[in-house]
Amino acid sequence: MPFQKIRMHLVVIGGGSVGLLYAARLLLSGHSVELVTRTHVQAKQLTAEGITLHQLDGRQRHTAVRSQPLEVGLPEADLYLLAVKQTDLDEILPYLQRIPPRSRVLALQNGMGHYERFTEFLDRQQCFFASNTEGARRLSPVEVEHTGTGLLRIGPWDVQENADPTCAAFVELANHSGFQAVYEQAIKPFAWRKLLANALINPLTALFEIPNGMLLESPYTIQLMRELFEEAASVANSCGEKIEERDWQEVVKICRNTSRNISSMLQDIRRRNQTEVNAINGYLVQMGRETGQPTPMHETLLRAVLLKTDMVEGKGE
């Protein structure tokens, strides 16, 4: 389907790094996008000032954007891009319950456990999931830096033979807007692999306070990542996801491609926000318990990140 013929209205929910990046690039390519934020202040600022995007090539681009706060409700859309963290889902999901049956929701969360929560509020055929490895950093409520290229995989959680027309059309729009996007028959296997990457990169960068690429600069951190990978792979394997050597190479590649990125977990800690560690390392620990796979290293990381979050809490920006 050529993108010129695709007319769809998109609503991005979430004014964090991923939400701002997607909204800006889609708008700059001429697509119809509104941005819903969790706070009044950010919505007002975005409507007044637009979004400034710092591109990978060093250029800055600016776009106007229509924005409103979540509490006003959700505008109608063909597709909602849900770019909030796992920890914010409780607040957002009840709003999605009211969307028309023809609308689709694309969940861009890291970690696992959200699939079940989505299906409590929406029909299964409305829920789509993404595995996104694009790097972005929010510089201010109206400014975002694109810090690394990645791949956006979109699809239903479990295998569905026929592609959903709305999500397939969005894949075209995303590619036209400079993202590398693909439609997959099922996202679950990719979500597991992304979980592995996040379970290694995010807590280590958050604890050491370093950009992603620095993890590859020392043999000690590489060895630590490798051991964490093997522990996580055993859990994945016992949950029916066959993890292979090339999946380790993929984690290293994500780290390299987003080398300048400040991981979302480190960004959260710096902003004194809750992190997604429970949905990432916590999920691995829980699945390890359920399947009889020991996860001492992920458990230690989980505790260390929760402790660090507690230590910085209240000293906020």
Q: Give the binding site for ligand KPL (CB under 6 A).
A: 110, 133, 135, 197-198, 201-202, 212, 254, 258, 261, 263-264
Question: Residue 276 CB, nearest distance to ligand KPL (Å)?
Answer: 8
99 token code pair: 């969307």
Please state the φ and ψ torsions of residue 230, each to the nearest 5 degrees.
-65, -40
Helix, strand or coil for residue 292?
Answer: coil
For ligand KPL, the closer CB: 74 or 254: 254
Instruction: Tell me how far, at minimum, the Cβ of 200 lies from ligand KPL, in Å.
Output: 9
Q: Name the catalytic one among 85, 188, 194, 308.
A: 194
CA–CA separation, 291 and 237 (whole Å): 10
Q: Which is nearer to ligand KPL, 110 or 177 (CB)?
A: 110
CB of residue 105 vs ligand KPL: minimum separation in angstroms?
20
Q: How far is CA 172 from CA 4, 175, 228, in A?
A: 10, 5, 36
Closest to ligand KPL by CB, 166 vs 263, is 263
Minimum CB distance to ligand KPL smaller for 65 or for 108:
108
With CA atoms as reference, report the closest residue to 295 among 196, 215, 218, 209: 196
CB 310 within 8 A of CB 273: no
Structure tokens, 46: 């975005």
Residue 194 a catalytic site member: yes
- As measured in angstroms, the least distance from the Cβ of 170 to ligand KPL is 20
Cα gap 309→274, rounded to integer Å? 7
**122 DSSP assignment:** S
Active site residues: 194
